[in-house]
């Protein structure tokens, strides 16, 4: 159901020829109203792709009519020409939508791109692709749109939360370069609830902070991360803000989990629970340090409950803790107690894809969960062969 | 020549049976005087192994008679018993050296350990090993000592700088867990120059800051990193402090380069030069960010001059720069100019083991060099199979 699960949205996904292999590579999502409120969060990388710079600008007024997304090229590090190409893409979308009766200007069209960095997009294929996509817009087009934004994703990702008379839907792509800042490449969320831009922004920031921002597949931050939330108001319902934020978080958490489950080359999904931290920031810092420890990620791949590598990762942080009070469990077995040897590591069963590491800082009452992946030869292979 | 290149030192390396495969695993280095000045730097990891905690204490008075080092076990995260074992090891060294005529107390014996974390050392093998090593101490024992501290090192590492009437020598081990804080596991440096503890400390801190601290093989910081510098004064010469510091830096740089060249599973040694930074700290921050980017490390392994990944790594730092002014060269070809496409990437020749990445921040006049390795399937294999 994806982005068209909510009323007031049409979508399409087509093959424009940007990808050399002929796979779908262009998606269009249109808000048919009656409202056009929108919010977005973007990569915190200071090297931002042209579409990110563009979309941040067009979102300044809290309104969007459409989002056009392409795979097959990130349009990052492409200089003034790259920005002109993004602008031209938005102009083209505005032109074809207006011609079809949905009046809009380029200033209400967000653009998102994913793929190789440092390569200009083939505009001779992309612009005709926009026309083709516009012609295929449909209230059932959400699935095709989700498929068209895939790069190295093996499956497309969608999620829906159906509430009392209103709905939040979404799609995501992203299998590499997942890390804080934002933990995904591209996400579009839609709702038919009637929520203004301020309410959307608050719900989106709350949700991404606790979901996408806590996914750290490989420690690398993208130049293109974009998460957009569009509200059509077509359901004619304005939910309670907390209930709305909760629904957005639900969809974000679902998509974030799917991203981890399909990360490049991964064989394990690692849930890192940091408990009894002095502050939530401490918990997140420790979780990310564990998530990014290559030696530990290799050990998890080898199904080795190597708690010493967890402790060495915790030791690099500035979080409050006493080294002699740290406890670590792997899949529920407390292999490290009081900073030293705990239960028998032979008791740890690591056969399944999901691995849970619990780090008890014994320093307070705060906690956080960070998701990561293991490090595998497949990851190395995929990323030494794939030029981006 | 190793640690016995300088006059006034004896050393030995023997197989005590700590390693199950029977390889050498215990080294002893003794300062026979006339002076006993010493300095040390240790891991900045807050989770410190017992021998690090011990050696920091015994160095407080700026004197050391001997260093005992073992491979086959890190004695980290081993609780009070681990600390007692370190203490007992130092006591044993003091006892056998005193019996042999070199009077010393345990408080002048540093201990260093490397190997598995979270496992107690087999003291029933280690203590007799100390006796055996003491019996084999020799002015020609430096090479054997360097061999005995190897873990996954494929070769032992030694370096010597011979100056005008005085010498600095050293040995190192370390092939995984190399990262700032300190970039090695264990290093012992010796000199026959007559330098007091304060002069040794200044020279050592200056040198490690510019050498071992700028090696970042895999982003992981050890619990055991130890670098010791001992001065016998046997040459009867007190060199100019700058000349002395320069010689120590020379030996450290040589050893650091050897560590990178023998890092676990690596196929490339990556020299990251950050130039035209606003401050040296900026240059180091950017260099480390590039050094730790797994996607880039995979690309280098695949001989792919993927400058987009360099830019995405720079973009995560807080260094002063304008994204549109960044330039990046790989092996001398400026593939990125002004944050966008530069010279043809096909011109980059990456066939050789050493790869040079030059990142021009165009923000000042400071610079730094960081050394890293690529990320390979062999690294994954070695670290998913090797339990530590």
- CB of A239 less than 8 A from some CB of B: no
Contact B383 A299 (CB under 8 A): yes
Model pLDDT, residue A384: 84
Query: Would you tell me which residues 115-134 of chain A have a C-beta closer than 8 angstroms to some C-beta of chain B?
Result: 116-120
Cβ atoms of B241 and B203 closer than 8 Å: yes
Cβ atoms of B50 and B75 closer than 8 Å: yes
The residue to which tokens 């006892």 are assigned: B95
Q: Measured at the alpha carbon of residue A80, what is the angle toward residues A79 and A85, in degrees to the nearest 5?
A: 105
Three-state DSSP class for residue A186? strand
- Helices A377-385 & B294-301 angle (0-180, nearest 10): 70
Model pLDDT, residue A22: 95
Model pLDDT, residue A153: 86
DSSP letter string over A328-379? EEETTEEEEETTEE-S-GGG----SSEEEEEEE--S-SEEEEEEEE---HHH
* pLDDT surpassing 70 at residue A186: yes
CA pseudo-torsion sign A22, A23, A25, A28: positive
| Active-site annotation holder among A184, A190, A226, A376 | A184
**Contacts A220 to B, Cβ<8 Å:** 293-295, 309, 312-313
pLDDT-above-70 percentage for chain A: 97
* pLDDT surpassing 90 at residue B66: yes
* Alpha carbon distance B134, B88 (integer Å): 16
* Alpha carbon distance A119, A131 (integer Å): 23
Three-state DSSP class for residue B242? helix
* pLDDT surpassing 80 at residue B162: yes
Model pLDDT, residue A220: 80
pLDDT-above-70 percentage for chain B: 96
* Alpha carbon distance A1, A140 (integer Å): 7
Complete domains list, chain B, with CATH:
2-261 (3.60.70.12), 269-385 (3.10.20.340)
Q: Based on the number of CB atoms within 10 Å of its own CB, is B122 exposed (0-12), middle (13-18) or buried (19 or more)?
A: middle
**Contacts A177 to B, Cβ<8 Å:** 295, 312
Q: Which residue of B has its CA nearest to A182?
A: B316
Query: H helices within B59-153, ranges in order?
Result: 79-99, 123-135, 142-148
Residues B202-213: tens digit of each pLDDT: 999 999 999 998
Q: Token digits for A300?
A: 């998890």
Q: How confident is the model at residue B175 (pLDDT cuts 50, 70, 90)?
A: low
* Alpha carbon distance B24, B27 (integer Å): 8
Q: How confident is the model at residue B388 (pLDDT cuts 50, 70, 90)?
A: very low
Count CB-CB contacts under 10 A for residue A323: 18
Q: How confident is the model at residue A183 (pLDDT cuts 50, 70, 90)?
A: very low
pLDDT-above-90 percentage for chain B: 84
Contact B77 A339 (CB under 8 A): yes
pLDDT-above-90 percentage for chain A: 84
Contact B294 A82 (CB under 8 A): no
B54 to chain A, closest Cα gap in Å: 16
Of the candidates B262, B310, B269, the residue with the CA atom closest to the CA atom of residue B287: B310
Across B163-189, average pLDDT: 78
* pLDDT surpassing 90 at residue A249: yes
Of the candidates A376, A380, A219, the residue with the CA atom closest to the CA atom of residue A292: A219
A328 to chain B, closest Cα gap in Å: 12
Model pLDDT, residue A358: 98
Q: Which of B77, B321, B323 sits opposite A311 (nearest CB)?
A: B77
Q: Token digits for B180?
A: 């700032």
* Alpha carbon distance B7, B193 (integer Å): 9
B326 to chain A, closest Cα gap in Å: 10
Residue partners of B199: CB distance under 8 A and separation at least 6: B37, B241, B244
Contact B384 A298 (CB under 8 A): yes
Three-state DSSP class for residue B321? coil
Q: Which of B46, B299, B338 sits opposite A384 (nearest CB)?
A: B299
Model pLDDT, residue B182: 45
Residue partners of B163: CB distance under 8 A and separation at least 6: B193, B239, B243, B247
* pLDDT surpassing 70 at residue B52: yes
Residues B263-276: tens digit of each pLDDT: 888 999 999 999 99
Q: Is the peptide bond before A34 cis (omega within 30 degrees of 0)?
A: yes
Q: Which helix (H) or strand (E) holds B340?
A: strand B340-341
Q: Is B248 left (phi over 0), alpha (psi -120 to 50) or beta?
A: alpha
| Active-site annotation holder among B78, B114, B184, B211 | B184
Contact B220 A77 (CB under 8 A): no
Count CB-CB contacts under 10 A for residue B119: 19
Length of chain B: 388
Q: Which residue of B has its CA nearest to A301?
A: B384
Model pLDDT, residue A176: 53
Q: How confident is the model at residue B221 (pLDDT cuts 50, 70, 90)?
A: confident
Cβ atoms of B321 and B314 closer than 8 Å: yes
Query: Would you tell me which residues 251-290 of chain B have a C-beta closer than 8 angstroms to some C-beta of chain A?
Result: none
Contact B385 A45 (CB under 8 A): no
Q: Which of A46, A338, A383 sits opposite B298 (nearest CB)?
A: A383
Across B169-188, average pLDDT: 71
- Helices B123-135 & B79-99 angle (0-180, nearest 10): 20
Q: Token digits for B182?
A: 């300190």
Q: Which of A42, A43, A45, A47 to mutate to test the interface with B (most CBs of B within 10 A)?
A: A47
Q: Based on the number of CB atoms within 10 Å of its own CB, is A211 exposed (0-12), middle (13-18) or buried (19 or more)?
A: buried
Residues A81-121: tens digit of each pLDDT: 999 999 999 999 999 999 999 999 999 999 999 988 899 99
Q: Which residue of B has its CA nearest to A302?
A: B384
Q: Which of A218, A384, A386 to mutate to test the interface with B (most CBs of B within 10 A)?
A: A384
* pLDDT surpassing 60 at residue A184: no
Contact B302 A377 (CB under 8 A): no
**Contacts A306 to B, Cβ<8 Å:** 387-388
**Contacts A78 to B, Cβ<8 Å:** 340-341
Sheet strand arrangement including B366-373:
B215-216, B366-373, B269-277, B354-360, B327-330, B333-337, B340-341
Contact B219 A294 (CB under 8 A): yes
* Alpha carbon distance A99, B133 (integer Å): 88
Mean per-residue pLDDT over chain B, rounded: 93
B229 to chain A, closest Cα gap in Å: 25
Model pLDDT, residue B329: 98
Q: Based on the number of CB atoms within 10 Å of its own CB, is B192 exposed (0-12), middle (13-18) or buried (19 or more)?
A: buried
Model pLDDT, residue A386: 53
Q: Is the peptide bond before A292 cis (omega within 30 degrees of 0)?
A: no
**Beta pairing class for A226-231 and A37-42:** antiparallel
Model pLDDT, residue B385: 74
* Alpha carbon distance B150, B110 (integer Å): 18
Contact A79 B339 (CB under 8 A): yes
Q: Annotated catalytic, B89?
A: no
Contact A383 B302 (CB under 8 A): yes
* Alpha carbon distance B53, B348 (integer Å): 47
- The CA-to-CA distance between both ends of chain A, in Å, stands at 31
- Exposure string for B277-290, b = 16+ CB within 10 A, e = fewer: bbeeebbbbbbbbb
CA pseudo-torsion sign B225, B216, A312, B157: negative
- Exposure string for B303-325, b = 16+ CB within 10 A, e = fewer: bbbbbbbbbbbbbbbebebebee
Count CB-CB contacts under 10 A for residue A138: 12
Model pLDDT, residue A178: 52
CA pseudo-torsion sign B175, B179, B182, B183: positive
Q: Which residue of B has its CA nearest to A49?
A: B312
* Alpha carbon distance B168, B229 (integer Å): 9
Q: Is A383 one of the annotated binding-site residues?
A: yes
DSSP letter string over B329-346? EETTEEEEETTEE-S-GG
- Helices B79-99 & B50-58 angle (0-180, nearest 10): 50
- CB of A346 less than 8 A from some CB of B: no
Model pLDDT, residue B73: 92
Three-state DSSP class for residue B112? strand
* Alpha carbon distance B24, B148 (integer Å): 4
* pLDDT surpassing 60 at residue B179: no
Query: Would you tell me which residues 138-197 of chain A have a C-beta closer than 8 angstroms to some C-beta of chain B?
Result: 176-177, 181
Q: Is A42 left (phi over 0), alpha (psi -120 to 50) or beta?
A: beta
Query: H helices within chain A, ranges in order?
Result: 50-58, 79-99, 123-135, 142-148, 197-210, 241-261, 280-291, 294-301, 307-314, 377-385
Q: How many CB pairs under 8 A join A and B?
A: 209
Contact B293 A326 (CB under 8 A): no
């Amino acid at each position: 159901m994806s982005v068209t699960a909510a009323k007031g949205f049409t979508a399409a996904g087509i093959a424009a020829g940007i990808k050399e292999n002929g796979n779908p590579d262009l998606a269009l999502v249109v808000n048919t109203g009656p409202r056009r409120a929108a919010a977005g969060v973007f990569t915190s990388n200071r090297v931002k792709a042209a579409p990110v710079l563009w979309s941040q600008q067009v979102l300044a007024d809290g309104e969007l009519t459409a989002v056009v997304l392409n795979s097959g090229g990130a349009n990052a590090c492409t200089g003034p020409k790259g920005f002109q190409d993004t602008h031209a893409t938005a102009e083209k979308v505005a032109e074809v939508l207006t011609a079809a009766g949905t009046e809009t200007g380029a200033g209400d069209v967000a653009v998102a791109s994913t793929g190789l960095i440092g390569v200009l997009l083939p505009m001779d294929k992309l612009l005709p692709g926009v026309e083709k996509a516009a012609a295929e817009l449909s209230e059932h087009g959400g699935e095709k749109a989700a498929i068209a934004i895939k790069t190295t994703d093996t499956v497309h990702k969608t999620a829906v939360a159906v509430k009392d008379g209103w709905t939040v839907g979404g799609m995501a792509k992203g299998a590499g370069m997942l890390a804080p800042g934002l933990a995904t490449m591209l996400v579009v969320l839609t709702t038919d609830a009637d929520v203004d831009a301020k309410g959307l922004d608050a719900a989106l920031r709350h949700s991404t902070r606790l979901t996408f921002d806590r996914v750290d597949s490989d420690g690398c931050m993208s130049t293109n991360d974009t998460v957009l939330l569009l509200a059509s108001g077509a359901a004619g319902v304005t939910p309670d803000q907390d209930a709305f934020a909760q629904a957005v978080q639900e969809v974000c958490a679902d998509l974030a989990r799917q991203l981890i489950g399909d990360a490049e080359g991964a064989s394990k999904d690692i849930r890192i629970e940091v408990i009894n931290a002095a502050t939530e920031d401490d918990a997140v810092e420790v979780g990310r340090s564990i998530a990014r420890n290559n030696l530990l990620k290799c050990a998890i791949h080898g199904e080795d409950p190597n708690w010493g590598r967890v402790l060495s990762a915790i030791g690099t942080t500035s979080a409050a803790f006493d080294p002699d009070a740290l406890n670590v469990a792997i899949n529920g077995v407390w292999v490290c107690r009081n900073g030293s040897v705990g239960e028998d590591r032979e008791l740890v069963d690591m056969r399944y894809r999901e691995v849970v590491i619990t780090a008890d800082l014994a320093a307070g009452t705060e906690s956080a969960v960070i998701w990561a992946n293991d490090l595998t030869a497949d990851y190395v292979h995929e990323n030494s062969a794939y030029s981006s």
